[in-house]
Amino acid sequence: MGLADQVNEWLLSEALGEPKLEDIFYRLCIKLLGIGVPISRARLNWPTLHPLFRAEMISWDRDERTATLDHFHHQDSNTDAWQASPLKHMLENDLKILRRRLAGPGKLTDFRLLEELSANGFTDYLALRTAFKQSGKGIESRGTGIIVIWACDRDGGFTEEDLSVLQEIQRSLALVCKSIIQQQITTNIVEAYLGQQAGRSVLEGNIRLGDGATTKALVWYSDLRDSTHLTATLSSDDYLALLNDYFECAARPAIRVGGEVLAFIGDAVLIVFPMETRSEGEAVLGKVLEALTESFVMRDDVNATRRQQGLEEISFGIGLNIGKVVFGNIGVPERLAFTVIGSTVTEVERIEKLTKTMDANVLASKRVADLVPGRWRSVGAHVLDGVDEPMELFMPLNLSAVPLKAAAE
C-alpha cells in the first residue's frame, strides 16, 4: 500500500465517526508532513448556507499546534481581497486545479495573495477544487464543494511525487468534507428556522405529530405597535425593514442572554427560557431584566436613526409569564410546526396586550415578580381575555426606557 493510499484509508475511516472538520484537517496536515510532503501552509475552503456566513475556511500553518475555523460574512464577497482572490478566479472559470511557482525560473505571481506569499518565503502554491453535485439551487450558484490550498517554502517547491500525493487524497478528503459540511448545513438551517432547542429536538427524531415534552419556562412575548397603520401606509420593502429593526430590538437582547425564539407570529415574537428550579428561575430572571433594559435602549437608538432618515419610528410592548409549557409538534403530518403551547402562552399574549392601554413597556405576572422581589411594582389585578380569573400584574422598577404611547389596533 502506497503512502497516499494509507492517508486515503485513514480519511475514509474518519468519515464514519462524528469528527470536527478542523481536527481532521490538522491531523491530515501532520500525516502529510510525516510521509514527506513538505507543506508549510494549508487552507480548506467551502461555501455554506447560513443566515450570517457565505463561506468558511480552516487554516493550518506548520508552526501552529492546531487548525482554526474562520467564517466569512455575506458582505465579504464585496471586499477587494475576495475580488482579487485566486479562489474567485477558479470558481468563475470552473478550474479544478491552479498551480503557481512562487520562486525560481518558473515564478508566476499573478494574484496579490501570491505576491505576498512569495515575499514571505513560500516557493510553491497548489489549489485543488472538487465540486459537490446536488439538486436544487441554493448555494450551487456560488460553487458547492471544497477548495484545498497547499503551499510550501522548500527550495524548488513541490516535487511531482508531492503533487501526485496531494491530488490522490483530494477525492477522499472531499468525501469526508461533504459528509460533515452537509450535516452542518442541515443543522444551520434547522436552527435558523426553528431555534436551537427546537432544532436539536427535531434532528434527534422528534418529528411526528404530537411529539413533545412539558417543562417549566419563563415566556417572553413582544408585539409591534400600530402595525395596522404601518402596513397600510408603508411599502412592503419599508415595512419589512421596519420589522427587522423591531425584531432586533425585541428579540436580540433576549437571545443574547439565553432565550430561544420559538416563533415569529406576524409582527410578534415568542421567546422561552426553560427553567426547573427556583434558583434557575432567579438566574434566568436576572438575565431577562438585563435584556429588557437593553431592548428598550436599542429601541431608542434605532428610533433616533430612523428619525434622522425620516422613517416611521417603532414601538412595542413585552409581556412576561412563568408556568408549564408544552414543546411539541402541531399541525398535520404533512406540515408540522415545532412550537410551545399551553395556558402560560395564552396568558402572556393577553398580558402583553394590556401594555397598549396601560402606557407600559413591560408587564409581568405575579409568578415572575415573586422570583425577584423588590424589582417590581404592582399595577393591580386585571381581567385578561379568555382567562377565568383576574391576574395581578407588575411593572419592573428602574427600567431604562421612556413610556409608550397608548395605541389601539
The partner residues of 99 in beta bridges, in order of sequence, read 126
Rounded (5°) CA angle 307-313-317: 145
| Torsion angle defined by CA atoms of residues 227, 231, 232 and 233, in that order, rounded to the nearest 10 degrees | 100
Which of 102, 99, 108 shows the shortest CA–CA distance to 120? 102
SS3 string of 240-264?
A: HHHHHHHHHHHHHHHHHCCCEEEEE
Residue 89: inside a domain: yes
Residues 274 and 146 in one domain: no
Residue 409: inside a domain: no
Residues 333 and 296 in one domain: yes
* DSSP structure string for 177-237: HHHHHHHHHHHHHHHHHH-HHHHHHHHTT--STT-EEEEEEEEEEEEETTHHHHHHHS-HH
Final residue before a domain boundary, out of 166, 192, 218:
192
pLDDT for 186 equals 78
Which of 270, 274, 275 shows the shortest CA–CA distance to 337? 270
- Number of domains the chain is built from: 2
Owning domain of residue 275: 196-396
pLDDT for 241 equals 92
pLDDT for 199 equals 62
Q: Residue 188's domain is classified under what CATH number?
A: 3.30.450.40
Residues 261 and 164 in one domain: no
Q: What is the pLDDT of residues 202-255, one digit of tens each?
A: 666 655 555 667 788 899 999 999 888 898 899 999 999 999 999 999 999 999
Taking the C-alpha atoms of residue 21 and residue 184, their distance in angstroms, rounded to an integer, is 10
Residues 188 and 241 in one domain: no
pLDDT for 409 equals 34
Which of 335, 213, 318 shows the shortest CA–CA distance to 276? 213
pLDDT tier at 405 (50, 70, 90 boundaries)?
Answer: very low
Residues 262 and 337 in one domain: yes
Q: What is the pLDDT of residues 159-214, one digit of tens each?
A: 999 999 999 999 999 999 988 888 887 777 776 666 666 666 666 665 555 566 77
Final residue before a domain boundary, out of 177, 192, 207:
192
User: Which pairs count as long-range contacts for 378-382, CB under 8 Å and 24+ apart, including other chains?
Assistant: 382/354
Residues 220 and 202 in one domain: yes
Are residues 11 and 171 in contact, defined by beta-carbon separation less than 8 angstroms? no
Q: Residue 380's domain is classified under what CATH number?
A: 3.30.70.1230
Final residue before a domain boundary, out of 159, 192, 225:
192
Of residues 387 and 238, the one with the higher pLDDT is 238
Residues 184 and 202 in one domain: no
Of residues 200 and 66, the one with the higher pLDDT is 66
Residues 174 and 258 in one domain: no
Which of 125, 288, 311 shows the shortest CA–CA distance to 220? 288
Are residues 364 and 343 in contact, defined by beta-carbon separation less than 8 angstroms? no
CB neighbours (10 Å) of residue 345? 22
Are residues 363 and 384 in contact, defined by beta-carbon separation less than 8 angstroms? no
Cell numbers of 327, please? Answer: 414543546
pTM of the model: 0.64
Taking the C-alpha atoms of residue 239 and residue 284, their distance in angstroms, rounded to an integer, is 33
Cell numbers of 303, please? Answer: 428610533
Taking the C-alpha atoms of residue 257 and residue 36, their distance in angstroms, rounded to an integer, is 49
Residues 34 and 67 in one domain: yes
Residue 403: inside a domain: no
Residue 405: inside a domain: no
Taking the C-alpha atoms of residue 402 and residue 393, their distance in angstroms, rounded to an integer, is 19
User: Is residue 281 scored above 90 in pLDDT?
Assistant: no
